Amino acid sequence: MVCTPSSSSGFLGDLENSYRRRSIHFDSGVKVPLLPDHIWIVVRGIVKLSCLNEQGDDVLLAIAGPNEPFGDPLTHLDLFEATTLDHCDLLGLSIQDVNTTPHLSSNLMKAMMQRTRQSEALIALLGLRGVENRVKSFLELLAEDYGQPCDQGLKLNLRLTHQEIASAVSTTRVTVTKVLGQLKESGWMQHDHQQKIIVSHLPSRNTSQNKKILA
């Protein structure tokens, strides 16, 4: 979502060479510690950004993929959490690093602009009528930003539970399970042998916009 594969690899390559000792590997399903005055850059993998509501439910706020930042300085939410959805390599940078490195500040500004656009898209889909439309729009958004091209369409190399999808589109887990079954039956989506979602039918305006390919 932030850069094309060619441009992101150059940016991340510079970062890894400069801050190699700060790159940390996280297994899937791990809570990433959020430290004051530090941000994380996703080098490889996918991270779910969420918060807890008043009822204690986990609410999905955004997805951070390669070349995208997150961290305590970038949120005002007290119950903000970051959880890996895949095996991840993350680069930790202090705000001082960012402030004293002009090219780093410039690239992070572009990344934050894209994060803002993703947040706006997630908010906008909540205004769509019908749960099926909201679920389809949510999966389309993920496929366009993080999908890996395959023979059947765009495959999502991340696993979201039905409850996580439900929280993103403001409905119940039971309803999401029903809608996903209907979308699979209609051929709009399918699963591969690892149960990863493949979106088979994207709007024609987006079919050529594979902005990011996950390794």
Render pLDDT for 55-87 as a digit per residue (tens, 0 to 9): 777 888 888 988 889 999 988 888 899 999 888
For residue 21, the model assigns a pLDDT of: 52
Mean pLDDT score, 146-166: 87
What is the Cβ-side half-sphere exposure of residue 165, based on CA atoms within 13 angstroms? 26
In this structure, the answer to whether residues 76 and 167 fall within a common structural domain is: no
pLDDT tens, residue by residue, 117-131: 888 888 898 889 999
Kind and range of the H or E element at 163?
Answer: helix 162-169
Q: Are residues 9 and 107 in the same domain?
A: yes
Residue 214 lies in a domain: no
Last residue of a domain, one of 92, 110, 125: 125
CATH of the domain at 174: 1.10.10.10
| pTM of the predicted structure, to 2 decimals | 0.75
Instruction: Using pLDDT thresholds of 50, 70 and 90, give the confidence band for residue 132.
Output: very high
Tally of domains in the chain? 2
If pLDDT is split at 50, 70 and 90, which confidence band does 34 have?
very high
Q: Are 88 and 29 in contact (CB under 8 A)?
A: no
Express each pLDDT in 166-188 by its tens digit: 988 989 999 999 999 999 999 99
Cα gap 171→111, rounded to integer Å? 29
**86 domain residue, yes or no:** yes
> Quick one: pLDDT at residue 32?
95
- 67: which 2 tokens? 């070349």
Lowest mean pLDDT among 14-28, 35-49, 146-160: 14-28
Are 42 and 145 in contact, with CB atoms under 8 Å apart? no
Question: pLDDT value at position 7?
Answer: 40
Cβ–Cβ < 8 Å for 134, 128 = yes
- At 173 the pLDDT is 92
- Rounded Cα distance between 56 and 182, Å, is 30
Q: Which of 92, 125, 158 is the last residue of a domain?
A: 125
Q: What is the CA radius of gyration of the chain?
A: 17
Q: If pLDDT is split at 50, 70 and 90, which confidence band does 160 have?
A: confident
Q: Quick one: pLDDT at residue 86?
A: 86
pLDDT of residue 48: 92
**What is the reported pLDDT for 203?**
62
The domain that holds 40 is classified in CATH as: 2.60.120.10
Together in a domain, 199 and 103: no
Residue 9 has pLDDT above 60, yes or no: no
pLDDT at 213: 33
The whole-number pLDDT of residue 8 equals 43
**Mean of all residue pLDDT scores within the chain:** 81
Q: Does 141 reside within a domain?
A: yes
What is the residue type of 53? N
